[in-house]
Amino acid sequence: MNVAVGRITAIFTLFALSLLLPACSEPRTELPVNTRLGGDFSMVDQDGKPFGPADLQGKLSLMFFGFTQCPDICPATLARTVGVWKELTERQREQVQVVFVSFDPQRDTPAYLKEYLAFFDPGVIGLTGSAEQVASMARGYGVVYLQEDTQPGREQDYLFSHSDFVYLLDQQGRVRKLFKSDFDGEELINDVRSLL
Amino acid sequence: MTFVACFKRTLVAVALIIAPQAYAELVIEDAWVRAVPPNSRTTAAYFTVRNTGAEEQTIAAVRSDSAREAEIHDWVEAGGRKQMVRQDQVVVPAGGQVVLQSGGLHMMMFRLDPVPAPGDKVLLCIDTEAAVEGQPAGESATEVCAEATVRHP
Ligand SMILES: [Cu+2]
């Protein structure tokens, strides 16, 4: 009897150890902290509430900048980013937020963003602000954008040219990695999990 | 769909069948429209244009029954910024094809009216003649049209 229990214990111990082995043989490479990007900013969210760097603390953030009248890349990036977020377990999802920052405050008001973003997921945070506030935040994250000229009579159809990176921020709001807007979903989800 | 809209669409379909076929060497395939939030003003449409003829064809205008304005755009990257640039003409080589897809050439639909919902059918037209101010989709003799489904990518 005792021998059998001892044997089972030994087998179980070996099994438990074997679970630890892969972790030992493949040390996880930490994502470096990007100290050049970020900094202070002052915006409002889709409910009109102030949103600053403190609101990026405590959760991972998948953040990117765009404008809602951009119909090709922006909604695709938004849909794919929300898609990655939805692939996480429910517990992981509670620790990750998706943040969309608009550099078109004239059209993307908080109320407009709230309705727009709910189409993708009501949990998505939308940030906007005055033209100066938006410019300041964009500068901090190295985002470049420019309102392009329109044809005569088509002023309301103005578009922006812009950089299109997706930022992975850690629980301290520090930038840990930049992704191209056509990012590999697998890579992004692995990097997200590595920080949880 | 309202009765009037349905009736108009039937007229378009009939007109397409009886119209002269010179331009009809262009064929629109795999057309779809990106589903966007109901308060959107813009969306994009994607399709393949195949030229079944022996002569090169040029797309000079695009139209839709769901957008006040439509243009073909391409993405250009310069100075770290990506920009959508209007293409006044898109050449479809004889026997060849042009593919409109996300991140590349696309049909931009401005001022959606109404904003189509997922599952809706939208009329998309390409025209070998330049745009005429305010001309509705499906009423030009040199146009090729197709119904596109609105969906998530
Ligand atoms: Cu475009």
- Chain A: which residues have CB within 8 Å of chain B? 68-73, 75-76, 79, 107, 112, 115-120, 144-146, 148, 154, 156-157, 159, 161-164, 182
Class of residue A116 by CB neighbours under 10 A (exposed 0-12, middle 13-18, buried 19+): buried
pLDDT one-digit tens code per residue, A67-108: 999 888 888 899 999 999 999 999 999 999 999 999 999 999
Number of domains, chain A: 1
pTM of the model: 0.82
Q: What is the CATH number of the domain that holds A130?
A: 3.40.30.10
Domain span including residue A153 = 3-23+31-195
Pairing outcome for strands B143-151 and B26-34: parallel
Separation of A91 CA from ligand 1 center, angstroms? 38
CB neighbour list of residue A82: distance below 8 Å, 6 or more residues apart: A98, A120, A121, A124
- For residue A69, list chain B residues with Cβ-Cβ distance below 8 A: 40-42
**Structure-token pair, residue A117:** 């973003």
- For residue B69, list chain A residues with Cβ-Cβ distance below 8 A: 154, 157
pLDDT one-digit tens code per residue, A122-148: 999 999 999 999 999 999 999 999 998
Please give the domain boundaries of chain B with CATH numbers for all domains: 3-151 (2.60.40.1890)
Candidates A61, A34, A53; CA nearest to A137 is A53
The one-digit pLDDT tens for each residue of chain B (153 residues) are 455 555 555 555 544 554 444 567 999 999 999 999 999 999 999 999 999 999 999 999 999 999 999 999 999 998 889 999 999 999 999 999 999 999 899 999 999 999 999 999 999 999 998 877 778 888 888 899 999 999 988
Separation of B73 CA from ligand 1 center, angstroms? 5
Q: Is B82 on the interface with A (CB under 8 A)?
A: yes
